[in-house]
Amino acid sequence: PLAFSFDKKPWTGDNTPAPYAFLAHALVTLCETRSRIAIINTLTNTLRTLLRYHIPSLAPALYLLSNSLSPPYYPIELGIGGSIISKAIQHVSGLSSTALKRLYNSCGDVGDVAFEAKSNVRTLVPHPPLLISGVFKSLLDIAHAKGQGATKQKQGIVEKLLVAAKGEEARFLVRTLSMNLRVGAVRTSILTALARAMVLTRPSSLLVSESDDSPYFAGPRLVTSVKPDSNEKKKIHDPSRDEILKKFANAEVLVKKVFVQHPNYDHIVAGLLECGLERLPERVPLTVGIPLLPTLGSPTRSLNEIYELLGDLPFTAEFKYDGQRAQIHAWRLENESVSVRNFSRHLENMTEKYPDVVLLVEHLFKRSPELQSFIIDSEIVAIDPNDGSMRSFQELSNRARKDVKIQDVKVSVCVYAFDLMYLNGEVLLAYPFRQRRALLRSHFAPMVSENTGAARLHHVESCESETGRDSIDEFWMRAVESRCEGLMIKLLDSGDVQEASRSEKDKNRRKPLPATYEPDKRTCAWLKLKKDYVMGIGDSLDLVPVGAWFGNGRKAGWWSPILLAVRNSSDGKLAAVCKCMSGFSDAFYKEITAKYAADSENCSKQPRWECITGGFKPDVYFRPHEVWEIRGADITLSPVSSAALGLISSARGLSLRFPRFIKVREDKKLEDASTSEFLAGLHVNQQSKGEKMAEQDGDD
């Protein structure tokens, strides 16, 4: 249980800045539960209290709750390592380094260490309370400290914060500083809570009178949970409650829809305060220059499965190129020059990495005077500069990332454009894919520059289901023989498909499947069929290395096997899933043995970093900080694994058989690692596949 001590003088609201203790209290409550309802209630009450009593704290609180300092496309990194935090804890608590090490070994979490270390410190002069906005500003100051003396400056700010932190504040401050907040509040919960807070509480800036007529109004109390009504029946028939629930549902859809098209908390908060919920989409629209979250593909295992899923609906099969996803934004400026932004799958701005793509886009605008602005979805692939043939993903990853000058570009690329979301001021998301693709093809003809080495533009190679099954089969074989990863199957027009259901009653139920561009969604309108799927499990997994054993024989002196983990989306915790010892080159073994050197800040004999290891007992534990792509033969129930425990079986977790390392996913962060739920989904797919095959065998 986590202790919590309030400041002696509680916050009374009334437009005085919100104390950080208020947020820390919410974080304590969030940490104590895994219930989604409790998480959303806590977040809702926290946000509505800020809405009502101190609006300037709202956006900083949203960033602090999501453990970020800025939108993903404008990353602000704290740039502090573990040693700055450790030194600060030591200075502030006066503990010796041995005592601190002992604390680390017993707590395992740096935030818990800070809490324990500070609990014995008595300050004679009371410090003014930390404020939400003040803490956020200090974090920005840490991030912006650059050049000579920056480390000292950062250390100074961290110490100042720690000196002023009381009770739980120290724990969450340090977890925030080490970018590992460990609360189960994921982005969707935060957005749900923001929507509900707006339904329940009119922001003070929008208030006409001082009274708040919402029956659910909560004042600036530091109580953050909503007690369930004991009389459930009464609740169901309570019309005002039903009305509120309907308003919640509408508001949640609206806020999430706005966020996935314009992921910026500052803009959304400003929009909500200026115009309220209803007019938020007009006020914060899809904007050229600000990336939207991309549509995602659902894994499938065979062409048969695709035909079964889509029925008679027309689709197109496209080559699935092995490169880097690029969302390209461009618009003409008043002086006829052109502004270009190029965003990655995770919305990082990678314009600088591809100056050749910027040049390509500028040529596009020169070639087409009618072109004013666009947003294109595409895959950038390394190519042979002479004949344009595709090269490997490895070659693309050899390109430098920052400050790339056009004359230094060694690896030529082709932009394979596959979707168009915005054209000349018009948002195209609601158009069916057939129409978006027609616009893409007519406005962006392929472009191959005369200059060797310049970037090229192509449409993706594709084949329509209307041309018959044989030609799709043939196209698949071409993809298998090429350098592609497989196929992407995309619905051309919206339609209805049969609901996936095992019950007889629901077997003929149909559900709509839109062919519109759906940001951040994984639906059957976009299916991926990878070459390896056909053999192995439905998809590769993105796993986190969390531990290892001492290698034997040829591998003596290296870490082998490596323990890998999935992430629970409910609470963000890692859970070990399998040991991996195949797919690694000797050079890679050496690299990871150096990266996770024994007793370094990345490797410890004690379980220092939170991970549910179940029955796995590795010799050492790794600091979880990277993601590896892993393929496997199949997923089995396992008595030692605690990954997905309770999702398929209450006694056994899931494990991956014959895991094979593919590559380091440098573009993925821990929160992008495959989840237990995803693993369980693959297991379910695999089982139903097996059953179907058995049924077919029986028919024969």
Identified binder of ligand ATP from the candidate list 262, 528, 623, 652, rule CB under 6 A? 528
345 binds ligand ATP per the rule CB under 6 A: yes
Give the whole-angstrom CA distance, residue 394 versus residue 356. 19
- Each residue 272-311 as x (binds ligand ATP by CB under 6 A) or -, in order, gives ------------------------xx--------------
Q: How far apart (Å, rounded) are the C-alpha atoms in residues 395 and 318?
A: 22
User: Rounded CA gap, 540 and 524, in Å?
Assistant: 18
CB of 661 to ligand ATP, least distance (A): 15
Q: How far is the CB of 329 from ligand ATP (least distance, A)?
A: 17
β-strands 522-530, 296-299: how paired?
A: parallel
User: Which member of 154, 256, 320, 353 is catalytic?
Assistant: 320
| Binding segment toward ligand ATP, per CB under 6 A, in 122-130, 305-313, 314-322, 425-433 | 314-322
Q: Which stretch in 156-164, 255-263, 319-327, 544-552 sits in contact with ligand ATP by CB under 6 A?
A: 319-327
Q: In 3D, which of 475, 515, 530, 519 has the Cα closest to residue 314?
A: 515
CB of 401 to ligand ATP, least distance (A): 17
How far apart CA 348 and CA 263 sit, in angstroms, is 12
Binding test (CB under 6 A) with ligand ATP, winner from 194, 347, 488, 492: 488
CB-nearer residue toward ligand ATP: 170 or 679:
679
Residues 359, 371: Cα–Cα separation, whole Å:
16
- Tell me the C-alpha distance between 80 and 87, whole Å: 12
CB of 456 or CB of 528, closer to ligand ATP = 528
Q: How far is the CB of 58 from ligand ATP (least distance, A)?
A: 31
CB-based contact 347:328 (threshold 8 Å) = no
- The only residue of 7, 109, 116, 318 in contact with ligand ATP, by rule CB under 6 A: 318
Closest to 51 measured CA to CA, from 193, 227, 225: 193
Q: What angle do CA 527, 532, 536 make, to 5 degrees?
A: 100
| Distance between CA atoms of residues 661 and 631, nearest Å | 7
Quick one: residue 599, left, alpha or beta (phi over 0 = left, psi -120 to 50 = alpha)? left
Shortest Å, Cβ 176 to ligand ATP? 27
Measured from each CB, the residue nearest to ligand ATP is: 325
| Cβ(373)–Cβ(290) below 8 Å | no
Minimum CB separation from ligand ATP for residue 621, in Å? 26
Query: Site size for ligand ATP, by CB under 6 A?
Result: 12
- Kindly state the smallest distance separating residue 318's Cβ from ligand ATP, in Å: 4
**Closer to ligand ATP at the Cβ: 528 or 608?**
528
Selected from 87, 187, 257, 325, the binder of ligand ATP by CB under 6 A is 325
For ligand ATP, the binding residue among 321, 476, 549, 622 (CB under 6 A) is 321
* Contact between 646 and 594 (Cβ < 8 Å): no
- Give the contact letters, 444-483, x = binds to ligand ATP (CB under 6 A), - = no: ----------------x-----------------------
Question: Closer CB to ligand ATP, residue 471 or residue 482?
Answer: 482
Q: Which is nearer to ligand ATP, 318 or 395 (CB)?
A: 318
Q: Which of residues 168-197 bind ligand ATP (CB under 6 A)?
A: none
9 catalytic per annotation: no
Nearer to ligand ATP, 206 or 296 (CB): 296
> Based on CB atoms, which residue is closest to ligand ATP, 418 or 558?
418
- Complex with ligand ATP: residue 619 or 666, whichever CB lies closer: 666
Q: How far is the CB of 428 from ligand ATP (least distance, A)?
A: 16
Stretch of 14-22, 276-284, 316-324, 584-592 lying at the interface with ligand ATP (CB under 6 A): 316-324
- In this complex, which beta carbon is closest to ligand ATP, that of residue 80 or of residue 488? 488
Start-to-end CA distance of the chain, whole Å, equals: 60
Displacement of CA 195 from its chain's centroid (Å):
20
Query: In the range 640-699, which residues lie near ligand ATP by CB under 6 A?
Result: none
**353 contact partners, CB below 8 Å, separation of at least 6:** 342, 399, 400, 401, 402, 404
Q: Write a three-state SS string for 127-153.
A: CCCCEHHHHHHHHHHHHHCCCCCHHHH
CB of 462 to ligand ATP, least distance (A): 8
Residues 6+ apart with CB under 8 A from 548: 559, 560, 561, 562, 563, 596, 618, 619, 620, 622
Residue 62, H or E segment: helix 58-65
- Cα–Cα distance for residue pair 76/53, rounded to 1 Å: 28
418 binds ligand ATP (CB under 6 A): yes
Residue 374 Cα distances to 2, 218, 287, angstroms: 51, 45, 10
Residues in contact with ligand ATP by CB under 6 A are 296-297, 318, 320-321, 325, 345, 379, 418, 460, 488, 528
Residues carrying an active site annotation? 320
